């Protein structure tokens, strides 16, 4: 078990999660990030909320990097596509809620599995 403060544990788990996003599907990575953030935190301050926060931050970073590096589209289709704020907001809210849920589940598993 780690002996880090919650901020450091969240930061380290986000770095590991961002690296894992290149190799594994995002849903598992969000759960693992939440688990890792709770696992690395000191036992007396360990909670599922830290895992949920780490997973949410990773999801927002992943969502915004997906907006910067968008998919490759042919020129005709890209010319027809226009920014849609409703779809953007809905996608951000859905990925945020899903990552909070999965990170909280991962953090809860770590709290229950490694309690002292």
For residue 102, being part of any structural domain is answered with: yes
Helix axis angle for 85-113 and 26-40, nearest 10°, is 50
CB-based burial label for 12 (10 Å; 0-12, 13-18, 19+): middle
For residue 73, being part of any structural domain is answered with: no
Tell me: the pLDDT tens digits for 50-72? 999 999 999 999 888 766 666 66
The whole domain housing 37 covers 1-68+97-116
Count structural domains, the chain.
1
Answer positive or negative: Cα dihedral of 77, 78, 79, 85.
positive
**pLDDT on residue 88:** 82
pLDDT under 70 in the chain at which residues? 1, 66-82, 116
**pLDDT on residue 24:** 87
- pTM of this structure: 0.83
How far CA 71 is from CA of 6, 32, 66, 108, 112, in Å, comes to: 35, 26, 8, 35, 40
- 83-108: b or e for each residue (b if 16 or more CB lie within 10 Å)? eeeeeeeeeeeebeebbbbbbbbbbb
For residue 91, being part of any structural domain is answered with: no
**pLDDT on residue 103:** 93
């Amino acid at each position: 078990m780690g002996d880090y403060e919650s901020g450091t544990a969240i930061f380290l788990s986000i770095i590991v999660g961002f690296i894992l996003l290149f190799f594994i599907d995002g849903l598992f990575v969000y759960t693992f990030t939440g688990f890792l953030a709770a696992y690395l935190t000191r036992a007396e301050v360990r909670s599922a909320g830290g895992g949920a926060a780490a997973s949410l931050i990773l999801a927002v970073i992943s969502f915004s990097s997906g907006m910067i590096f968008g998919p490759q589209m042919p020129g005709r289709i890209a010319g027809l596509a226009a920014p849609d704020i409703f779809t953007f907001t809905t996608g951000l809210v859905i990925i945020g809620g899903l990552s909070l849920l999965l990170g909280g589940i991962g953090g809860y598993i770590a709290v229950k599995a490694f309690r002292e």
